[in-house]
Amino acid sequence: MAKTLTQERIAEILKFDVDQRYKYLVKEVVENREIWILTDEHGCVMLNTEDEDCVPVWPNEEFAQEWATGEWEHCKPEPIGLNKWHSRWTNGLLDDELSIVAFPNTDLEGVVLFPDEFDFDLTNQAKKQKR
């Protein structure tokens, strides 16, 4: 089960740049064995860049919840277990030609990558944490 973040820690993390947020995301997902998305009655929320349709993902419920405002206020954070992510989501997103936007901030800045690249980084992080 994921640990609860203090408001001070959340504020500190929100100041991270794009690369720092990505590294935090990978470490937290592996440590907590879950990744967070936003969902509504139609499924998971999507973001669109100039080139890609993306599924935004977050490391903790608190960060996903911060996005549930404005046009997304009806959305709910939903955890996906890491095993389910590896076994179903990575290939499903690839099959649907979707990318991932990793831990986007409220300015819509986040690392955009292919699901198999993200999966590779998660697997490498898991190997590091086992040492």
Domain count, the chain: 1
For residues 88 and 66, what is the distance between their CA atoms, to the nearest angstrom?
26
Answer yes or no: is pLDDT of 1 > 80.
no
Domain-located, residue 25: yes
Domain-located, residue 4: no
Locus of tokens 């955009």 = 112
Express as a percent the part of the chain with pLDDT over 70.
Answer: 98
Give 100: exposed, middle or buried? Use CB within 10 Å, 0-12, 13-18, 19+: buried
Q: What's 94's domain CATH number? A: 3.40.1350.90
Domain-located, residue 47: yes
Domain-located, residue 8: no
Domain-located, residue 7: no
pLDDT digits (tens, 9 = 90+) for 38-94: 999 988 999 887 788 999 999 999 999 988 888 888 999 999 999 999 999 999 999
For residues 17 and 78, what is the distance between their CA atoms, to the nearest angstrom?
24
Residues in the chain: 131
Q: One-letter amino acid identity for 88? A: R
- The pLDDT score that the predictor gives to residue 51 is 82
Could you tell me the residue range of the domain that residue 75 belongs to? 14-130
